[in-house]
């Protein structure tokens, strides 16, 4: 009898896994014919591995690919967890932290941040201070000359091979508005106050040089820091939806506008899409949410009854229009969601909302303003 019960239970578990996997595949298929779902295995792995939001964001920082191609920047581009040993140690540490994230939460709560870059710095500082195989010397160390502050070194630390590192961290979400292939000027911040080429120039010519000043060099055992930059985030490309509904395009396939991005952009960077409000299609996603700025890093995982979830794309557009009444120039990031169980340990029988793809909805006059911004010297 016990063998029969065990067999029956195993069969039910197998069916449960099959139903869950089939549901995930079906949800992804419904989205795929309208938009590019996350192609990166990283996004799927993060959703499976980490329940805590802050831990998932930290894991994203440590594991996500760079926006820049290492072949163009050599040792100036930091390789986080480059060695298998470092990666294994970090993954084990992250698993323990996800099981008990109170120390991380306390560190974040001690200095609440509203800016994405400062929040990301808090996360990486926590890892360098309490994670495996690193000893943090200083974070946000100011460099002053003749009473003037030239800037701050984001992180000064020593690794387990006794190498002294100066890291500069940048987390960016840039929208590709078109332009010469390989040009970083075509990638602009959603608020049109930032541009990829300008940020990279400042990193290379100013931020990475700060540790050369004698007051900072003196902190290294050998008087020298190896300076490198972490440049991670998402690039968003415009999707031409003009053919949706045409007889020759009944599937609503999207095609990215503009040229592919050769040059210094890494081929494996994380990608999303953007579109104008007037072109906002009825994407066939089970649900949507507007992504707040501090959640722009790792993919989202929301509870089944989360009030921030919208069940149709029209509701999202209405929310955007309401938002633009007070902030007329600010694009909003949205994420397509599916009600899919992401792991065996999900206790909610209704499942959880998991991110399948993300993009920006921009005001209708934004593309013209963005194109002009790319030409500003």
Structure tokens at 133: 């195989």
Maximum C-alpha span of the chain: 85
CA distance 217 to 206: 16
Q: Does residue 7 belong to any structural domain of this protein?
A: no
Q: Does residue 233 belong to any structural domain of this protein?
A: yes
Q: What are the angstrom distances between the C-alpha of 55 and each of 94, 102, 198, 342? A: 7, 10, 31, 16
DSSP 133-158: TEEEEEEEEEEEETTEEEEEEEEEEE
Domain span at residue 257 reads: 26-373
CA distance 365 to 59: 36
Q: Does residue 53 belong to any structural domain of this protein?
A: yes
Q: Is 209:226 a contact under the CB 8 Å cutoff?
A: no
How many domains, the chain? 1
Q: Where are the alpha helices (DSSP H) in the chain?
A: 2-32, 41-49, 53-63, 70-73, 84-99, 102-110, 116-130, 196-205, 214-217, 313-326, 366-373
Q: Does residue 365 belong to any structural domain of this protein?
A: yes
What's the chain's Rg over C-alpha atoms? 23
Encode the chain (377 residues) as per-residue pLDDT tens digits: 444 344 334 333 333 443 444 444 444 444 443 455 555 678 888 888 999 999 999 999 999 999 999 999 999 999 889 889 999 999 999 999 999 999 999 999 999 999 999 999 999 999 999 999 899 999 999 999 988 999 999 999 999 889 999 999 999 999 999 999 899 999 999 999 999 999 999 999 999 999 999 999 999 999 999 999 999 999 999 986 433 323 222 222 333 444 445 689 999 999 999 999 988 865 667 889 999 999 999 999 999 889 999 988 888 989 999 999 988 889 999 999 988 754 444 444 457 899 989 999 999 999 999 999 999 98
Q: Does residue 322 belong to any structural domain of this protein?
A: yes
Structure tokens at 200: 């990279």
CA distance 49 to 346: 11
Cβ of 30: how many Cβ atoms within 10 Å? 17
Q: Does residue 159 belong to any structural domain of this protein?
A: yes
**Which pLDDT score, from 0 to 100, does residue 220 have?**
95
Structure tokens at 328: 């007329």
Q: Does residue 177 belong to any structural domain of this protein?
A: yes
Q: Does residue 135 belong to any structural domain of this protein?
A: yes
**Which pLDDT score, from 0 to 100, does residue 133 have?**
83
DSSP type of residue 194: -
């Amino acid at each position: 009898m016990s063998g029969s019960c065990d067999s029956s239970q195993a069969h039910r578990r197998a069916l449960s896994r099959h139903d869950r996997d089939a549901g995930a595949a079906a949800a992804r298929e419904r989205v795929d014919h309208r938009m590019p779902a996350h192609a990166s295995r990283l996004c799927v792995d993060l959703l499976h591995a980490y329940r805590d939001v802050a831990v998932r964001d930290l894991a994203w920082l440590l594991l996500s690919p760079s926006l820049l191609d290492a072949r163009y920047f050599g040792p100036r581009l930091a390789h986080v967890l480059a060695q298998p040993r470092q990666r294994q140690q970090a993954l084990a540490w992250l698993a323990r932290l996800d099981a008990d994230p109170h120390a991380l939460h306390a560190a974040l709560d001690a200095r609440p941040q509203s800016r994405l870059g400062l929040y990301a710095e808090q996360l990486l500082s926590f890892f360098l201070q309490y994670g495996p195989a690193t000893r943090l010397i200083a974070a946000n160390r100011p460099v002053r000359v003749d009473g003037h502050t030239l800037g701050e070194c984001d992180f000064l630390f020593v690794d387990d091979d006794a190498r002294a590192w100066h890291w500069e961290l940048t987390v960016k979400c840039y929208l590709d508005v078109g332009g010469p292939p390989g040009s970083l000027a075509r990638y602009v911040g959603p608020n049109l106050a930032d541009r990829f080429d300008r940020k990279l120039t400042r990193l290379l010519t100013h931020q990475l040089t700060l540790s050369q000043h004698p007051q900072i060099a003196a902190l290294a055992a050998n008087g020298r820091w190896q300076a490198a930059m972490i440049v991670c985030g998402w690039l968003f490309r415009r999707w031409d939806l003009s053919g949706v509904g045409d007889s020759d395009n009944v599937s609503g396939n999207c095609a990215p506008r503009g040229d592919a991005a050769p040059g210094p952009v890494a081929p494996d960077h994380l990608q999303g899409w953007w579109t104008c409000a007037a072109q906002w299609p009825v994407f066939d996603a089970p649900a949507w949410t507007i992504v707040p700025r501090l959640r722009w890093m790792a993919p989202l995982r929301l509870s089944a009854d989360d009030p921030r979830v919208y069940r149709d794309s029209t509701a999202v557009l209405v929310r955007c229009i309401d938002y633009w009444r007070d902030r007329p120039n600010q694009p909003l990031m949205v994420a397509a969601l599916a009600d899919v169980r992401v792991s065996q340990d999900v206790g909610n029988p209704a499942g959880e909302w998991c991110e399948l793809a993300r993009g920006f909805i921009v005001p209708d006059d934004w593309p013209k303003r963005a194109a002009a911004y790319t030409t500003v010297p």
